[in-house]
Amino acid sequence: MATIEITIDERFPAEKAIKKFKRLCDAYGIVKEYRARIEYKKPSIKMKEKLENADKRRRKTASSTRVRSKY
């Protein structure tokens, strides 16, 4: 895993440093990895959830792409 390091000096505001840190964490996938490690799920359950989410996305896009005619 990569080490994230941000240097702060008097010209660099703390708010910008926090935003930069959050962007880097998202880019490296640290938050995603942390959430995955919180609770262990069996591979069969992960696959089932993945298929359910894909089906949900398919149904959502199918219902939004239907064009309703005015006439």
Residue 70 has pLDDT above 80, yes or no: no
pLDDT at 36: 87
Q: Which domain holds residue 61?
A: 14-65
In the chain, how many domains are there? Answer: 1
Quick check: is 5 in a domain? no
Q: What is the pLDDT of residue 43?
A: 94
- Residue 13 exposure: Cα atoms within 13 Å on the Cβ side: 3
Which of 66 and 9 is assigned the larger pLDDT?
Answer: 9
User: Is residue 2 a part of any domain in this protein?
Assistant: no
pTM over 0.75: no
Q: Which residues contact 4 (CB under 8 A, 6 or more apart)?
A: 21, 24, 25, 28, 30
**3-52 per-position pLDDT tens digit:** 888 888 888 888 999 999 999 999 999 988 998 899 899 999 999 999 99
Is residue 21 one of the residues assigned to a domain? Answer: yes
